[in-house]
Structure 1
Amino acid sequence: MFLAFSLLVMLFLLAACSNNEKTGKGEGEAFTYTFFNASSTGKDINTADTKIGKMFEKETGVNFDIEHIVGDSNQKIGTMIASGEYPELLNAQNATNDVIDAGGFVPLNDLIEEHAPNLRKLYDPIWEKMKQEDGNIYILPSGVSNGYIKPPNIGQSAFFIKREALKEQGYPHPKTVDEYFEIIEKYAKAHPTTNGADTIPYTLLQYDWHVGQLFDPPAFLSGEQEGIIVDNETQEVSVYHNKDITKRWLGKLNEINKKGLLDKEAFTQNFDEYLAKISSGRVVGWFGPRWESGTALDTLEQDDDPYNDFMGFPIVFEEGIKDQYLNPESFVTSPGMGLTTGTAEEDQVRIIKYLDHMAKIDSQKLITWGIEGETYEVNDDGRFYRTQEQIDLTADKKFRDEFGFTALGWYWPIMGGKFDDGNSVDPVVQPEVAQLAYDEVDKEFLKAYNIETFTDLFTEPEPAPWFPFWDAAIETGSEAQLYDQQSRDLIKRSYPDIILADPAKFDAEWNKFKKQFDKLPYKAYEKVMQDSVNREVELMK
């Protein structure tokens, strides 16, 4: 009888241990769950191995093993869908809708309403936008806006010019596309070679998905926001690739090509070759988002000659056009993270409470700014700032990883814009931080153009609740999707012919392209975008 009782006790203990392994809970230990992030590569880590994560663990009793994508993310997510086995928390990136359709995500509406008041408040501006057609919320996006704040530096698109060209010509302030290329032409003629090789007056990139440098300028030059044209008064939507503003832009490129100012390899270079040119100091001008050329520009910033770096301008076709280069306040709802059906109900509650703890304002400031006195300071007016030592410290990758800025930053429920006290959520955007981070050459150009930050040259954007357009859902196999792909293929094939044509044949090449473009189902695409704009405007009322 004693032996039977002992066996019963052992079986009970084994069952208890098995249950503890399943939930990730040991006696006196935290619950450990898995967060698979298909939106990012990086080193797998447990959040409790970071300073912020350890603090959150003590306050919530929860930590996460963060796993990042290796290889094809769609294949990995496809395996999850096929097997029905998911991590507790999942960012499925491009396959998000596939997981939703497969029933892999848990509806979050009731969980948030019942257990997460801070999370509910964080997502209040886009609560209705987050709902799927069935009325359920499955995904928690990162960066939900809490008011617009103008960035101090250009991270998005602009027309860039080499600083040496600006300094040499007395710091001219180009406003129109003609003035922009006049500066480039004057400098290129005075400096036919750079570092022992031909100077490249103007380059552009058309390779793989990198097509914005050729596609986007007509909108920006005419005072529109990127992607598609929306009339601010009527909200009427239209594509612009077949319109006169595009012909005008291509005509300018045709003109500079005739003058020998366009990179001869513009349409044949790959991305690495393009970056190598930017980092070589040979390029005088280019258009595009600064982040796209980021690695090359980082190299230039470490160069012995700081004048090889670039300065961005909000160039338009003609004076009087109001530039709209800066991104407006954004209300993105996808992609993001969701709780999966691989999560037990009691664990769903623990995880949503953990996310709710993250959504507290004090937690948000900890995630983005860190600890007062260690990674930032507060002045008498309540403004956050960093000393030079703190700027250097928080820029160090090893420190960011160990502190938790990397592991617990983007991809989690993080707000964007500014806190209610007026401080920027992102320290890099805080003017007090940006101004201290400027070096002597930065300050030289700021003084020359009588500005305090580099975006002072740019107009604050008009509100656009429909921005960004890539957030609009285009049905697979639809005419709209067909247009999206066919237009890209046609443009990539036709624009080089138009730009490189003999000027006498420019109109003929443009008309040839326009005739082919007009056969595409662009009206179906416009309708999808119009429906999206109408819906977003209505939801944000």
Structure 2
Amino acid sequence: MKFKKFSVVLSMSLAIIMSVSLIGCSKSSSTATESTKVDSSTAPAAVTSDAPAPTAAAVANDCTLKLWGFKFNQSIDSPGVQTDPVSKEIERVVGCKIELYPQESEDLFSTKLASGDMPDVMGVNRKFVQKLLDAKAVLPLDELVKQAPNVSQFDKMLNFDKEFLSDADHKLYFITRAPEDYTLNLDVGMYLRWDYYKELGSPPVNNVDDYIKVLSDMVKKHPTNDKGKKVYGLSPWFDWGMWSWTTPGYLNGMWNNGLIDYDMADNMKPLSVVTNENSSYWTTIDLFYKAKKAGILDPDSFTQKFDNSIQKGRDLQVVGGLGNFWFSDPNKVFKDAGENKGFMAIPPKEGTKARWGGYWQPLGADSHYAISSKTKYPEQAMKLYNYLYSVEGSRTINNGIKGKDWDDAGGKLTVTPEALKTIDDKDAEIKTGIRRYKDIFPGLPENFRGEYTNLFKLPEFTINNYSPLEKEYYAELGVTGAADLLQKRVENKVANTAVLLLRPLQPDDLKRIDDKIMDYMLKAAVKVVLAKDDAEYAELKQKTIEDIKGMDFDKSWKYWEGITSTISDYIAKNDLNRNPDTK
């Protein structure tokens, strides 16, 4: 693996976050154009696998591609050969059955790698790339990818893969997921019970103090839910590490990763979460301290888990939260009942300099896909990739079968009501296969270069699916939805994930320093929030900073500062700052 400048890591955040883009595909084998068709009979002789090449008849009759990856277990309810309509369409296009299994643990990965029992196609996080290379478990793809124009069009991504996800030979072994992904949303925000907010007269909320005041007033008017249980202003959970203690900073344009905030208002400039007074860490502590002081912070917050917190949202035991995922279930109940009630975010003010509203992934996400060196079907595996990285096939993954679930006849995109039902119906999703594999396969983002690869995201379908509350909310703001709101009101609204994908893997000694500091920060945060008064709050805050400085913090920070110029140079040289937010 090459580490001449720096190597690659991208840590997931949020659940929100999380996520980061959808998949793509191509036309079926019977209708494929010359530009998208991968013909196994013309595979270059230089492309080799440890296994003997199958005959054409074997491919037609016996080909099964086994796939797994670390994200698979989020979506596979029935491991094995897939038989729903979408998987059968993939089988028709590629010429192979699709067999899916979750890769559930690092130990299982190591065991299978040692035994040579690897699948034909595998998706892994960055930390497993070198292990696969060292074991010679993955196939060079340089010749195969020439047969896959839907993949080879991403020259910046492939150059990155060859430079940083390779051995000294600089060959292509991995293909990164979701290049050029661009999302805008209101996943993070100062959410509150909107019908209660209007009941209060919709007072202005310009800062944390205003937010706490409004939540306090709501709790006073609605102290219990319909079952007599106490209602709180906020009921967070703190078992997700630094994410739990940095999320509110996103609303100030600070995108956090460990000990670093990236300032979205200043071209993703790295700032210290420890010494910067306005860091995401101190912003979060300030918010929860003020909520505790006001008596609206759930005392269970410091011990409860994610599921406990979400359940309180379902039970309407809270009137506020920092993300829409807290309230998706109660909002659906209100929507299904046709009630103009639920939770919405305080909208950003016009002229907002920076506020996190999504991602720009010029190089893709930290999901990298390879083909086993032992596969019998390397050409078919690449044909699968080519299919997944095209617009039309992506619509198959996201929206179902063309001509049955959706169509583009006469240049007009249409989706059937039955397909739309899969958005909120898990059983329908499993039965049809629509959206079932959207978090599994590599491929395209859902809005790719102006074309919707997920037709459910077309404005007409999105707007028609709004709840009564959403319709009123967006109408009053004079926008069509969250993306329109952010486009009109926020100058810097997307985080460029290349700054993380290009970050180095730390030396072990520095990683130990960072882990020790973050472990201390998580414990110290609770103490500061529980300070008995403002004087003790200030004292504990200062002590926390001084204690961290005594943990070799300067050594760690100088290390991170030292790579900033290298990362910035790579981004500038490869034109990775250009995105729909800045064009």
Q: Please say if residues 162 and 307 of structure 1, whose CA atoms lie closer than 8 Å, have aligned partners that are also in contact.
A: no
- What is the CA-CA distance between 1:386 and the residue it aligns to? 3.6
1:53 to 87, 97, 101: 87
Distance verdict in 2 for CA 1:277–1:398, change over 3 Å = closer
Q: Are positions 1:181 and 2:212 aligned together? A: yes
Tell me: CA distance 1:85–1:483, structure 2 relative to 1, closer, same or farther (3 Å).
same
Within the alignment, does 1:32 sit opposite 2:64 as a pair?
yes
**Paired residues for 1:442-521 under 5 Å:** 442-458=470-486, 459=489, 462=492, 466-467=496-497, 470-475=500-505, 477-501=507-531, 502-519=533-550, 520=553, 521=556
1:348 and 2:378 are equivalent in the alignment: yes
Partner of 2:120: 88
Deviation at 1:120, TM superposition (A): 0.8
Counterpart residue type for residue 514 of structure 1 = I
Aligned residue for 1:256?
291
CA shift for structure 1 position 257: 1.8
1:400 aligns with: 429
**1:234 Cα shift?**
6.7
> Would the alpha carbon gap of residues 445 and 389 (structure 1) be closer, same or farther in structure 2, given more than 3 Å must change?
farther
Cα contact 1:205–1:271 (8 A) shared by 2: yes
Return the alpha-carbon distance in structure 2 between the equivalents of residues 92 and 86 of structure 1. Answer: 12
Counterpart residue identity of residue 315, structure 2: S
Long gaps (5+) in structure 1: 1-18
Per the alignment, do residues 407 and 348 of structure 1 end up closer, same or farther by CA in structure 2, a change over 3 Å counting?
farther
Aligned 8 A contact 1:88 1:343 in 2: yes
How far off is 1:161 after superposition? Answer: 0.7
Superposed CA RMSD: 3.4
Q: How many residues align?
A: 504
Judge conservation of contact 1:25–1:32 (CA < 8 Å) in 2: no
Q: Is the alpha carbon distance of 1:79 and 1:399 closer, same or farther for their aligned partners in structure 2, counting shifts above 3 Å?
A: same
Secondary structure of the structure 2 residue equivalent to 1:338 = strand
Give the aligned partner of residue 11 of structure 1.
none
The one of 128, 133, 138 aligned to 1:105? 138
Structure with greater Cα Rg: 1
Query: 168, 191, 198: which one pairs with 1:167?
Result: 198
What does 1:271-290 correspond to in 2, within 5 Å? 271-288=306-323, 290=324
- Cα displacement (A) at 1:417: 4.5
- Give the TM-score, by structure 2 length: 0.76
Percent identity at matched positions? Answer: 18
Which blocks of at least 5 consecutive residues in structure 2 are unaligned? 1-50, 577-583
Aligned to 1:78: 110
Q: Flag the 1:388–1:483 CA change in 2: closer, same or farther, 3 A.
A: farther
1:108–1:137 CA contact under 8 A, matched in 2: yes
Aligned positions of 1:80-479 closer than 5 A: 80-93=112-125, 95-113=128-146, 115-121=147-153, 123-131=154-162, 132=164, 134=168, 135-145=170-180, 148=182, 150-151=184-185, 154=186, 156-172=187-203, 174-195=205-226, 196-207=228-239, 209=240, 211-218=242-249, 220-227=250-257, 228-230=261-263, 236-246=269-279, 247=282, 249-288=284-323, 290-291=324-325, 293=326, 296=329, 306=339, 309-313=342-346, 321-331=352-362, 332-344=364-376, 347-372=377-402, 374-376=404-406, 382=411, 384-386=413-415, 388-393=417-422, 395-406=424-435, 408-420=437-449, 422-458=450-486, 459=489, 462=492, 466-467=496-497, 470-475=500-505, 477-479=507-509
Q: Distance in 2 between matches of 1:86 and 1:522?
A: 39
State the TM-score, normalizing by the size of structure 1. 0.82
Higher relative contact order (CA 8 A, sep 6+): 2
Paired residue for 1:63, among 80, 84, 97? 97
- Residues 213 and 160 of structure 1, relative CA distance in 2, 3 Å threshold: farther
Paired with 1:368 and 1:125, the residues of 2 have a C-alpha distance of: 26
1:101 Cα deviation from its structure 2 partner: 3.6
Q: Which amino acid aligns with 1:438?
A: Y
- CA displacement 1:245-291 (0-9 Å, x = unmatched): 14455334323322212222221222222122111101111114x34
Structure 1 residues 20 and 65, CA, compared in 2 at 3 Å: closer, same or farther? farther
Q: For 1:407 and 1:253, how far apart are their aligned partners in 2?
A: 37
SS at the partner of 1:322? Answer: strand
- Find the residue that maps to 2:254 and give its secondary structure: coil
Shift in CA distance, 193/396, structure 1 to aligned 2, threshold 3 Å: closer
CA contact (8 A) 1:204 1:214 kept: no
Q: Partner letter of residue 410 of structure 1?
A: D
Superposed CA offset, 1:286-320 (max 9, x none): 114x34x477557755786956631123569xx96
- What residue is the counterpart of 1:15 in the other structure? none
